[in-house]
Every structure is written in structure tokens, then in C-alpha cells.
A and B are shown apart, each in its own frame.
Chain A
Amino acid sequence: MRQTRIARNIWLGIENLLLHKLRSFLTMLGVVFGVGSVVAMLSVGEGASKEALEQIRKLGSNNIIVSSRKSAEEEATSTQRSHMSVYGLTYEDYRRIASSFSNIQQTAPVKLTRKDSRLRERKMELRIVGTTPDWFKLVPREILAGRVILKSDQEKQAPVTVLTEFGARKILATESTIGQTIRVGSDQFEVIGIVKSESGQAGNIQIPDQEIDAYIPIEVARRYFGDIFTKRTSGGDESEMVELHQVIVQVDDPKKVEAVAAGIERMLQQFHKKQDYTVSVPLALLKQAEAMKRRFNIVLGSIAGISLLVGGIGIMNIMLASVTERTREIGIRRAIGAKRRQIVFQFLIETVVLSTIGGLIGLGVGTLIPFLITYFSGMITLITWKGILVPLLISMTIGILFGLYPAVHAAKVDPIVALRHE
């Protein structure tokens, strides 16, 4: 009984709103756009944080990446002819890092060179990553075929390589993959496995793997390719000697990542005269990136909130006009015996119906916008239950909030005066 009465009241409210279709629609528009922008904003925010989580997973949330870098002084002198730059992390650094910290779970050294690789007539430049089996634990990627490098390969200094999906497609094409021998530079390597790559940028953080990687045991890389790299430039040959390009460190506890990073930095300072390395902590960078996104969301949210507020004021304005217009009706209802709160309820229901319908339409608009955003900008958007319910509740609340004043205003009308109102 109670329920049907409320349904009837709502229906009466809708009937009244339908009497002025255009006016009701225009009044609604404010809420439509307000809710629409809130929904869109939330979906962009959710998408961004989902993206951030995805990147943490790709980078390894417990990882520290120590990279070699040409120091500023070195950069200045390296333009000279036949000069050899010596810089970066050493095998000794790797050994020290791996053995000095109790919180370090595993470390992987990375030695990089670029080599032309070929299988018969197919040729492409690969990034040769000399590393240890630990790499595959630190940068976990799906194994598509075969296996990854094992300790035994390391011990045997076996000329084996694990390709990434993209590189493998280019070089191997349709040929059977595992067991195939490819030429890297002037050496032969047996392909033992293929892994997926998830290269991409995480803000300003480079993900450790690339899609043209070929992984080989580090000992093999050192023996075959050495530590000296020569680049042909217009000014002559430019040589540099770098033992290791990266050391990837995994810490056992996310809370200790930053402390360990600081420790590594201190230790490297002792052994390096120049600042020829960088220590980057993806987690810290991600935290920064996320804090920025949060600020961005707050700004977006405030703008969406303002448009909702404007929508609410629009409703209030029209309802106040409607109350004045319907003063006589209010007087009639009061004379017949309607109590003040029944008048309040009547007008309140109209505003809530108006704002809720506006909210529902806004929801439709708001779920469409993220699709367009994703379509045109490639930004990930995500619509969650929270992202739908919150704006809907907000629109209903706005109906109550901004409807209350006009409704109370209506109920204050003196029936005697109202009945004389023209």
C-alpha cells in the first residue's frame, strides 16, 4: 500500500513534468551534463589507475633499476677523435650489489649491444641482452614457446638465445621456431625459446624489455662481443667501454625498496668517481605519477562538480518559478486539506524525478564519452559500479537539496492569499 502510494506520487510528478516537456527537458540538461561529466571523469580516473597498476606489474613493483650513464664530464670530452669513454657499472658493482644487501632477493645484470641478426635472407637489428636466468624472474613474461635461459646454459656458455615475439616473427617468419639457428653479428645462436614482450612507456620510466630483444647468457655476450663498443659516426669512430648497462634488483619487501635504492646509491658513490650511473625506483616514480593523476582527477572532479552545481541551481530556479506559477494550485490543495509536508513532498518528488531522469540520461551520455575518449586518444577508461552509482546518487541528492527550498517555499504559501492569486 505504502509502496504503491509512493509509485503513484512519482507518477503524478512525472505527469506534471510532462505538461511542460520542453521546460522539463531544458531544466534537466544541467544535470545531464553534470552527471555525464562526472561519469566520464570517474571512468578516465579509474582507467588511469588501472593503467598505473598494470605498469607496476610490468615494471615489477619491488624492482630497482641501476643503469649506466655517460657522466657529464665524459660527455664533454668524448667528441675528441679516437677517444674511448669508459664508464658505467662494472661486473664488480653487480657482485657487490648482489652480495651486500640482505633485503635483495635477486639481481640480474644486463649487457646490451645491437647486432644485425639474420636467418638466410631475412635480417633485422636486434637488441642483444646478455643476462642471467634471473632476468626472467625479474621481468616475468609469458613464455610462448620453448624455454628461457637456464643455469646450465650459463655454465656451458652455450650460444643460445631467447627471442621476443616481435623479433621472432620478423626473423623466423613461418619457419619452425625452436632449435633454429640464427646468425647474430658473426656468431651462430640457437633459438631455444620465445617470450612475449610488454614494451612501452610508463610515464618517464622505460620498461626493461623491448620488443626486439634477444636474450643470451651474459658470459656468452662478454666472450663473443666484449666490453668495447664502437660506433661509426661522421667524426670517426667513437668507442666506449661499458661492462654492464643495467643491474636490475628485486627487493623482498615493497616498503624497503626505497631504503635499498638509497643504500645502492651510497655504495656506488664510494666506488665511482663520476656520476656515471642512475638509480631509478619504478615504484617511487609510479607513486609520483599516481599522485599527479590524483591531483588531475580532483581538478576534473571539481569541474564536473561545478557543472552539477550549476545544473542543481537551474533546477532550483525553474522550480521556484513553477511554485510561483502554481501558487493557486497550492492554495487549492491546501484548502482541500493537504498538509504542508504533503505540498513539500509533491514538489520535492518533482525535482527528484527531474534530477534522477536527468541523471539517468547523463549516465548514458557519460558512458558514451569514455568510449569516444578511448577511441580517439587511446586513453584507457573504465566504468565501474561505483562510477555509475555515485553520480546517480549525487543527482538524486541534488534533486533533494535544490528541490527542498522551492518545496518549502511552496508549502509556506498561505492558502487564503493563494486562492486569491491570479
Chain B
Amino acid sequence: MVRQATSENHQEIIKLVNARKIYQMGTEQVKALAGVNITFNKGSFWAIMGPSGSGKSTMMNILGCLDRLTSGSYYLDGKDVSRLDDDSLSEFRLRYLGFIFQSFNLIPQLTVQRNIELPLYYLGWDARESAERAKELAEKVGLADRVGHRPTELSGGQMQRVAIARALANDPHVIFADEPTGNLDSTTGEQILELLMKLNEAGKTIIIVTHEPDIAKHAHSRLHMLDGQIDRIEGNSK
């Protein structure tokens, strides 16, 4: 299976084949994903959209290796990750993925620098090298003068920049952004989006989950979900 997968197109970074995710809610079965087939290419910029309950969060969790499919397959960079155990999924998250959340999800007791260093800590980098990298990344997101501050001393936009820097620390293949501008005013949101677009131009694959069309329009392609299935796809899937 792995060999078959690796023989496929090098442009593909993410591929779902007949992906199903079924939750048992009491006696009822909820089909959060009801047989999804889709391929995302390297360097693409996607927005996953849909009303609440459409399965877009489940989609995000599956793609982000935070959850496993009930059936079907998920190929990440050509490797089938749908049957991996918890440790291996953690390893994939650590090496391939970066996350940005609506509520920033910075660790409040750690400084900006320590927050950015977090993935490097788990990658086993030594303290000096990770400090250097964290400072570089802070500079990249425009927060070079804030590395010693704690998240609570920052504005929402600044916190999200820290989160982006942290998501970049492990040089991920794919960056997932779950409503990244949801807690920000429109101007700051715009700046964050610009930052993401710049990252995309630099070659990162970016997948945003949002229900706001204004945000989604910045993406190259839009995937509309409805009742656990793909409703439609807009834009050019580069």
C-alpha cells in the first residue's frame, strides 16, 4: 500500500480516499465525514468552508492527524497515516504539520520565545539553537522586540503572530489555520491573512478552516462541506 502511495504524483501532499468518520452519539450514528475523496497539492492555499455541523472541523482534525478515520485512507506526503498509532501520529504532527488556532492557544506561563521554541523542544533541539531559531521566527513575524514577553502582555494580533511563528518553527509541510482571524478585528485579521499568503508564496501549503467568505476569498481554492460530504469546490486547485 505504501509503495502504491509513493508511486503517485509528487505534487500531492494530502489525499483522502473514501474517508469516513462516524461518531457514536448514544444510539445514533453521526456521519461527520461520509466518504470524502480529495487531493491537495503542495504549495496550494485552501479554505475549507461550511456551516457548523457540516464536518469541516472533523475534516481539520483528520487532516491535522489529531483524529483517525473510521474507514478509508489518508495519505500525507505519500504515506498512509490512517492506521497509525497515537505515537506515530504525534511524530507526524511534529515533523509535517503546523497549527494556528482561533484562540491562539499559546501557553500562558511561557514567554513568547519559549512558546515559539516548543516544537523544537519536542524535536530534541538543544537550547541554544532553538533560541536562535525562535528569535529568527519572531523577527519574521515582526515581534523581535517581544520575545521576552508573556502572551498576556500581547494584543490579539501579536498573539496570533506568535502562534504563526510557533507553527513555522518545525518548518512544516502543511499549516492548518482554524478560524485564524475569528478573534481579531478586521484590520488585524487582514494582516494575519497577508502573513499567511506570504508564507504560501514562499511555498508552504496552507489550509484554512473558516465560515467567513471574506477570509476564504484569499485562498486559491475553496472546499465547501455539507453534511459530511464535499458540496462543491471553487477556484483553481493549483
Contact = CB atoms under 8 A, between A and B. Distances in A.
Same complex origin of A and B: yes
Interface of A: 1, 4-5, 8, 16, 19, 328-329, 331-340, 342, 415-416, 419
Interface magnitude class on chain B: 20 to 34
B105 interface: yes
B55 to A, nearest CB: 14
Contact of A416 (B61, B105, B119, B123): B61
Q: SS class of chain A's interface: helix, strand, loop or mixed?
A: helix
Contact of B122 (A1, A4, A342, A419): A342
Closest 9 CB pairs of A and B: A337-B94, A337-B93, A339-B90, A332-B105, A329-B107, A19-B109, A336-B119, A339-B87, A337-B90
A175 B170 CA distance: 92
Contact of A335 (B66, B91, B95, B124): B66
Given A337-B122, A338-B94, 17 more contacts: A4-B127, A5-B124, A329-B107, A331-B105, A332-B107, A332-B118, A333-B122, A336-B166, A337-B90, A337-B93, A337-B123, A338-B90, A338-B122, A339-B91, A415-B66, A416-B66, A419-B101
Contact of A336 (B87, B108, B122, B124): B122
A335 B93 contact: yes
Nearest to A335: B99
A192 B66 CA distance: 96
Contacts of A19: 109
A333 to B, nearest CB: 7
Interface string B80-124: 000000110011111101010100011111000000001100111
A251 B107 CA distance: 76
B87 A8 contact: no
Contacts of A8: 127
Contacts of A342: 122
Contacts of B92: 337
Given A342-B122, A416-B66, A336 B99 contact: yes
Nearest to B178: A419
Interface of B: 61, 64, 66-67, 86-87, 90-95, 97, 99, 101, 105-109, 118-119, 122-124, 126-127, 166, 170
Given A336-B118, A338-B90, A342-B122, A328 B105 contact: yes
A336 B99 CA distance: 7
B109 A337 contact: no
A8 B101 CA distance: 28
Given A1-B126, A329-B107, A332-B107, A337 B64 contact: no
Nearest to B93: A337
Contacts of A331: 105
B238 to A, nearest CB: 27
Nearest to B96: A337
Nearest to B57: A416
A336 B66 CA distance: 10
Chain A CB within 10 A, most for which of B67, B109, B124, B170: B109
Contacts of B118: 332-333, 336
A14 to B, nearest CB: 13
Contact of A337 (B105, B106, B119, B126): B119
Contacts of B108: 329
A5 B94 CA distance: 18
Chain B CB within 10 A, most for which of A331, A335, A419: A335
Contacts of B109: 16, 19
A337 B66 contact: no
A15 to B, nearest CB: 8
Contacts of A336: 93-94, 99, 118-119, 122, 166
Nearest to A415: B66
Contacts of A16: 109
A336 B67 CA distance: 14
25 contacts: A1-B126, A16-B109, A328-B105, A329-B108, A331-B105, A332-B118, A335-B64, A335-B66, A336-B93, A336-B118, A336-B122, A337-B91, A337-B92, A337-B94, A337-B119, A339-B90, A339-B91, A339-B122, A340-B86, A340-B87, A340-B90, A342-B122, A416-B61, A416-B66, A419-B105
A334 B107 contact: no
Contacts of A328: 105
Contacts of B127: 4, 8
A334 B90 contact: yes
Contacts of B91: 337, 339
Contacts of A332: 105-107, 118
B44 to A, nearest CB: 22
Contacts of B95: 337
A338 B106 CA distance: 15
A326 to B, nearest CB: 9
B203 to A, nearest CB: 21
A415 B105 CA distance: 12
A416 B106 CA distance: 15
A8 B109 CA distance: 17
A130 B2 CA distance: 103
